[in-house]
């Protein structure tokens, strides 16, 4: 079977015929083979008496079949031409070359089921396939031939080679052929094969492991399609089991940012959680994922805490049901909490910024479950760059998931090592959880809800891959990882069926990711990671730098408050949301979110600001105080220093006053200045943090009309006026002199005694009294 990336399900082929001959209507006989374990590995063919006997029986049965085909017409449902025990032959036998058919569309064959998934001697395997006619012409004489090879596929490269071979290449050895009714354009038919495993040319004790199995579809002599898959032979004892862990991301759509007035009329930006309701419905990918993994505690989750917190705030019944199921399924499971809002590590790495802390506030005031681990990073790219790994280590998350073809062992490594690797960075070592690319692709293709993949195909490929891995070093215990992609949408039934098949295999043990992390890191050489991330859709560096600049400004602003952490935490969600990995697929919306986040940071910094003046300031003195009013609309006290920055030497600032501003109040600061000369001066006002002196809020400015010479002129004028008044008074006094009226007032009138004459002496008085 061929796995087409990324779906890898049904093998489709146009009706162009293959270069090799198609299986004939009657399978040609070939000597049946008895194989030893060594023969099965090397491809050597055994011979002996038993082989001759089986050749004779095979020839007789083939002849009988040919006679039956001549006299027995096809039944409406597609009559069996041969039973499993009788239809033995090879598709590579000589015959007429198929005619060239070049028609639009394709004929595709899908494996519906193989029961059981592993077989041994004495059992019967039932193989069901579906044939779809995607051409615009009917298939008039379609046939399906099932083949099984005795040759063991002992390496992973051999598995890939067989699965990827084109239709023109040889099919497996034919075991049974079914003639089908004509298939009209766009229609399909189902074919079922029941085969006795004793006819597979595999003796008891044959080497354990996968064999090639094919279903070849022909129409007349034209080969139209070959489905290639695997038969798992489990006769001999299986090697030591391989541990297998699964990691599934639980991350949601990008959350938006909305700006609306709060209760006091102030503009407030908040995280819009409405998007989660549309993502958590029962028929949505996250609904399918929860249903598929709920009963599988061995499947670890990488969870965005903001998604779960947002879901808890919803009033939608479907969202509430998802939350309830999530909480119930969380028990006894390895859960890794990603950074809230699932920020893209590559976006931060490209500008050298640190990842947001795990403590970023969540919607509704929720907190991350303390039992969840916070030391894992799930990059947005399958293969992260070393810069991303370094950023993760710096943030305290030394575990980094690597998918795709990242960190693959070099060619000199002849086995599949445990899915752990050490990546050295200048910030310290990181432990990479290396997802096995082939296992992850097969599992994803076979369990995807789109139905594009074949669950049976995926199951057989996974069993074959793990069987080969286990046999590479039978005595060694190794552990592998399947890390699913973000947004993976599983079919819960298919998901369960594939895990059941893996769990039933004796060479596979499904275990939690914690068990993988406890395994030793293998000392093997691997391909290097790229220096930087090359994924598409990463937030452009200029926009990321703008967000970081806004974050830095808010952090500086917070230092003026009594509780700086509260201010930083208030702004952080809006600054993280636009960096979400999910925004890679919504770049226009992301640009709007970046702009909203920066505007919100500016509004927060404007909570402490200079109150604008209605007019400028007139300064007529050589020194004085300029009043500056500062308002604080925060809910906590701040302490600021007010600085004036004149644009002209006419005005010099003596000092910058410092003082507290209670919450919700305005305070006047008196800034002492000196003035020189006259002229208009533009003054910029800055609010500074203490004691750093860093500007913490948007600046303001006003005009000062400096008239310092007015004070000198005014003083001179006043002094002159005073002098004139004094001189005038003196002059008036001198001019007036002693006037006749004043002399008359001072000279006594005739007959009026003077004071001296009228006052008798003491002696006279005394005498007269006597």
Do 80 and 132 lie in one domain? The reply is yes
Q: Using one digit for the tens of pLDDT, what is the confidence trace for 281-324?
A: 999 999 999 999 999 999 999 999 999 999 999 999 999 999 99
Q: Quick one: pLDDT at residue 11?
A: 44
Q: Quick one: pLDDT at residue 64?
A: 40
| CB-based contact 121:202 (threshold 8 Å) | yes
Angle between helices 317-329 and 305-312 (to 10 degrees): 130
Which residue would you say has higher pLDDT here, 660 or 760?
Answer: 660
In the structure, what pLDDT confidence band is assigned to residue 726 with cuts at 50, 70 and 90?
Answer: confident
Which domain range does residue 686 map to?
609-707
CA distance 742 to 744: 6
Mark which of 707, 730, 755 sits at the end of a domain: 707
- Which residues are registered as beta bridge partners of 256? 272
Is 731 a residue whose pLDDT tops 90?
no
3-class DSSP state for residue 504? helix
Do 551 and 420 lie in one domain? The reply is no
| CB-based contact 539:344 (threshold 8 Å) | yes
Q: Give the residue carrying structure tokens 């303001």.
A: 700
Instruction: Give residues with Cβ within 8 angstroms of 697, minimum separation 6.
Output: 557, 605, 606, 608, 609, 610, 687
Which residue would you say has higher pLDDT here, 42 or 173?
Answer: 173
**Is residue 739 assigned to a domain?**
yes
CATH code of the domain containing 227: 2.60.40.10
CA distance 478 to 244: 9
Q: Quick one: pLDDT at residue 199?
A: 84
In the structure, what pLDDT confidence band is assigned to residue 57 with cuts at 50, 70 and 90?
Answer: very low
CATH code of the domain containing 291: 3.20.110.20
Which residue would you say has higher pLDDT here, 446 or 259?
Answer: 446
Q: Quick one: pLDDT at residue 709?
A: 63
Output the pTM of the full model: 0.78
**Is residue 522 assigned to a domain?**
no
Mean pLDDT, residues 481-495 taken together: 97
In the structure, what pLDDT confidence band is assigned to residue 712 with cuts at 50, 70 and 90?
Answer: low
| CB-based contact 430:398 (threshold 8 Å) | yes
Range scoring the smallest mean pLDDT among 85-99, 169-183, 311-325, 595-609: 85-99
Mean pLDDT, residues 346-367 taken together: 95
Q: Quick one: pLDDT at residue 724?
A: 76
Mark which of 596, 631, 663 sits at the end of a domain: 596
Q: Give the residue carrying structure tokens 């089986």.
A: 54
Residue 641: closest CA among 699, 693, 564, 697: 693
Q: Quick one: pLDDT at residue 740?
A: 57
Is 3 a residue whose pLDDT tops 70?
no
Q: Using one digit for the tens of pLDDT, what is the confidence trace for 739-763?
A: 555 555 545 555 545 444 444 444 4
Q: Give the residue carrying structure tokens 């063991």.
A: 152
Do 430 and 560 lie in one domain? The reply is no
Mean pLDDT, residues 406-430 taken together: 95
**Is residue 89 assigned to a domain?**
yes
Number of structural domains, the chain? 5
In the structure, what pLDDT confidence band is assigned to residue 237 with cuts at 50, 70 and 90?
Answer: confident
Q: Strand order of the sheet with strand 665-675? A: 608-610, 623-632, 665-675, 651-653
Q: Residue 349 — φ and ψ, nearest 5°?
A: -65, -35
Mean pLDDT, residues 634-645 taken together: 95
Mean pLDDT, residues 94-117 taken together: 66
Q: Quick one: pLDDT at residue 708?
A: 67
Mark which of 533, 564, 596 sits at the end of a domain: 596
Is 607 a residue whose pLDDT tops 50?
yes
**Is residue 303 assigned to a domain?**
yes
Mean pLDDT, residues 44-53 taken together: 36
Is 74 a residue whose pLDDT tops 50?
no
Do 507 and 547 lie in one domain? The reply is no
Do 430 and 482 lie in one domain? The reply is yes
Eight-class DSSP state of 251: -
**Is residue 280 assigned to a domain?**
yes
Mean pLDDT, residues 319-348 taken together: 97
Mean pLDDT, residues 405-431 taken together: 95
Is 65 a residue whose pLDDT tops 60?
no
**Is residue 318 assigned to a domain?**
yes
| CB-based contact 176:145 (threshold 8 Å) | yes
Q: Using one digit for the tens of pLDDT, what is the confidence trace for 571-594?
A: 999 999 999 999 999 999 999 999
Q: Quick one: pLDDT at residue 719?
A: 62
| CB-based contact 285:486 (threshold 8 Å) | no
Q: Using one digit for the tens of pLDDT, what is the confidence trace for 512-527?
A: 999 999 999 999 999 9
Residue 182: closest CA among 142, 132, 128: 142
Do 700 and 732 lie in one domain? The reply is no
Range scoring the smallest mean pLDDT among 331-345, 531-545, 708-722: 708-722
Mean pLDDT, residues 403-413 taken together: 93
Q: Quick one: pLDDT at residue 393?
A: 98
Residue 30: closest CA among 70, 85, 87, 96: 87
**Is residue 74 assigned to a domain?**
yes
In the chain, pLDDT over 90 holds for what percent of residues?
66
Q: Which two tokens stand for residue 723?
A: 């002098």
| CB-based contact 373:512 (threshold 8 Å) | no
- Which residues are registered as beta bridge partners of 12? 108
Do 583 and 618 lie in one domain? The reply is no
Do 368 and 222 lie in one domain? The reply is no
Q: Using one digit for the tens of pLDDT, what is the confidence trace for 155-200?
A: 999 999 999 999 999 999 999 999 999 999 999 999 999 999 888 8
Q: Give the residue carrying structure tokens 């009043």.
A: 627
Q: Give the residue carrying structure tokens 């298919």.
A: 494
Is 206 a residue whose pLDDT tops 80?
no
Q: Quick one: pLDDT at residue 640?
A: 96
Looking at the chain, the number of H-run helices and the number of E-run strands are: 20, 29
How far is the CA of 664 from the CAs of 560, 669, 695, in angstroms? 15, 16, 21
Instruction: Give residues with Cβ within 8 angstroms of 210, minimum separation 6.
Output: 152, 153, 159, 230, 231, 232, 233, 463, 464, 467, 468
Do 166 and 201 lie in one domain? The reply is yes
Is 22 a residue whose pLDDT tops 50?
no
Which residue would you say has higher pLDDT here, 100 or 212?
Answer: 212
Mean pLDDT, residues 19-41 taken together: 34
**Is residue 449 assigned to a domain?**
yes
Instruction: Give residues with Cβ within 8 angstroms of 340, minimum separation 6.
Output: 304, 305, 306, 309, 356, 358, 360, 361, 362, 368, 573, 576
Strands 188-196 and 209-219: unpaired
How far is the CA of 321 from the CAs of 280, 291, 310, 372, 547, in angstroms? 9, 12, 14, 22, 36
Instruction: Give residues with Cβ within 8 angstroms of 313, minimum separation 6.
Output: 273, 363, 364
Which residue would you say has higher pLDDT here, 266 or 132?
Answer: 132
Q: Which two tokens stand for residue 69?
A: 């085909």
Q: Quick one: pLDDT at residue 26?
A: 34
Is 41 a residue whose pLDDT tops 50?
no
* Biggest alpha carbon–alpha carbon distance for the chain: 199
């Amino acid at each position: 079977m061929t796995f087409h990336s990324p779906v890898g399900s049904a093998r489709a082929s146009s009706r162009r015929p293959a270069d090799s001959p198609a299986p004939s209507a009657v399978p040609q006989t070939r000597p049946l083979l008895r194989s030893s374990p060594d023969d099965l590995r090397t491809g050597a063919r055994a011979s002996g008496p038993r082989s001759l006997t089986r050749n004779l029986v095979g020839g007789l049965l083939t002849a009988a079949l040919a006679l039956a085909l001549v006299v027995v017409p096809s039944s409406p449902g597609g009559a069996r031409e041969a039973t499993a025990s009788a239809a033995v032959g090879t598709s590579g036998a000589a015959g007429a070359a198929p005619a060239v058919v070049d028609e639009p569309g394709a004929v595709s064959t899908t494996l519906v089921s193989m029961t059981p998934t592993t077989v041994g001697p004495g059992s019967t395997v039932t193989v069901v396939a579906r044939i779809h006619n995607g051409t615009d012409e009917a298939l008039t004489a379609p046939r399906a031939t099932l083949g099984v090879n005795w040759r063991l596929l002992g390496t992973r490269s051999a598995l890939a080679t067989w699965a990827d071979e084109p239709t023109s290449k040889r099919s497996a050895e034919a075991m049974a052929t079914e003639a089908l009714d004509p298939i009209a354009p766009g229609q399909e038919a189902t074919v079922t094969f029941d085969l006795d495993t004793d006819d597979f040319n595999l003796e008891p004790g044959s080497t354990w492991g996968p064999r090639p199995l094919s279903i070849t579809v022909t129409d007349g002599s034209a080969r139209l399609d070959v489905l290639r898959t695997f038969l798992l032979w489990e006769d001999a004892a299986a090697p030591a089991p391989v541990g297998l862990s699964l990691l599934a991301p639980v991350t949601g759509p990008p959350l938006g940012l909305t700006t609306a007035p709060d209760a006091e009329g102030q503009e407030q930006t908040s995280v819009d959680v409405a998007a989660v309701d549309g993502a958590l419905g029962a028929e949505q990918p996250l609904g399918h994922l929860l249903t598929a993994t709920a009963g599988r505690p061995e499947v670890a989750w990488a969870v965005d805490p903001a998604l779960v917190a947002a879901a808890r705030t919803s009033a939608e019944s479907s969202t509430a049901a998802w939350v309830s199921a999530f909480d119930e399924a969380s028990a006894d499971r390895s859960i890794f909490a990603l950074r809230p809002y699932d920020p893209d590590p590559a976006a931060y790495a490209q500008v050298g910024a640190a990842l947001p802390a795990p403590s970023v506030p969540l919607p509704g005031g929720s907190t991350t479950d303390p039992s969840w681990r916070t030391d894992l990073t799930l990059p947005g790219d399958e293969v992260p760059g070393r810069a991303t790994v370094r950023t993760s280590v710096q943030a305290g998350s030394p575990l980094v998931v690597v998918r795709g073809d990242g960190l693959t062992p070099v060619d000199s490594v002849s086995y599949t090592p445990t899915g752990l690797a050490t990546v050295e960075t200048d910030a310290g070592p990181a432990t990479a959880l290396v997802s096995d690319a082939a296992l992850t692709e097969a599992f994803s293709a076979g369990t995807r809800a789109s139905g594009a993949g074949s669950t049976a195909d995926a199951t057989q490929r996974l069993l074959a891959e793990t069987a080969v891995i286990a046999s590479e070093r039978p005595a060694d215990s190794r552990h592998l990882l399947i890390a699913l992609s973000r947004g993976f949408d599983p079919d819960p039934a298919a998901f369960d069926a594939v895990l059941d098949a893996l769990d039933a295999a004796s060479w596979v043990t499904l275990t939690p990711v914690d068990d993988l992390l406890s395994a030793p890191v293998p000392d093997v050489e691997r391909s290097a990671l790229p220096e930087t991330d090359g994924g598409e859709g990463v937030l452009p560096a200029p926009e990321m730098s703008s967000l970081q600049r806004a974050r830095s400004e808010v952090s500086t602003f917070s230092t003026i408050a009594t509780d700086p952490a509260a201010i930083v935490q208030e702004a952080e969600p809006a600054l993280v949301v636009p960096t979400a990995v999910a925004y890679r697929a919504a770049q226009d919306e992301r640009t709007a979110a970046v702009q909203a986040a920066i505007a919100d940071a500016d509004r927060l910094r404007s909570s402490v600001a200079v109150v604008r003046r209605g007019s400028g300031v007139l300064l007529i003195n050589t020194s004085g105080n300029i009043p500056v009013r500062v308002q604080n609309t925060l809910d906590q006290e701040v302490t600021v220093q007010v600085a004036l920055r004149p644009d002209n030497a006419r005005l010099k600032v003596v000092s910058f006053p410092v003082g507290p501003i209670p919450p919700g109040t305005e305070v006047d600061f008196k800034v002492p200045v000196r003035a020189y000369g006259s002229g208009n001066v533009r003054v910029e006002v800055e609010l500074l943090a203490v004691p750093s002196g860093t500007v913490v809020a948007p600046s303001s400015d006003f005009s000062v009309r400096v008239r310092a010479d007015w004070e000198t002129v005014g003083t001179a004028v006043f002094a002159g006026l005073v002098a004139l008044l004094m001189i005038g008074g003196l002059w008036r006094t001198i001019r007036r002199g002693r006037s006749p009226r004043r002399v008359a007032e001072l000279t006594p009138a005739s007959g009026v005694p003077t004071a001296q004459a009228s006052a008798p002496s003491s002696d006279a008085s005394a005498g007269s009294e006597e």
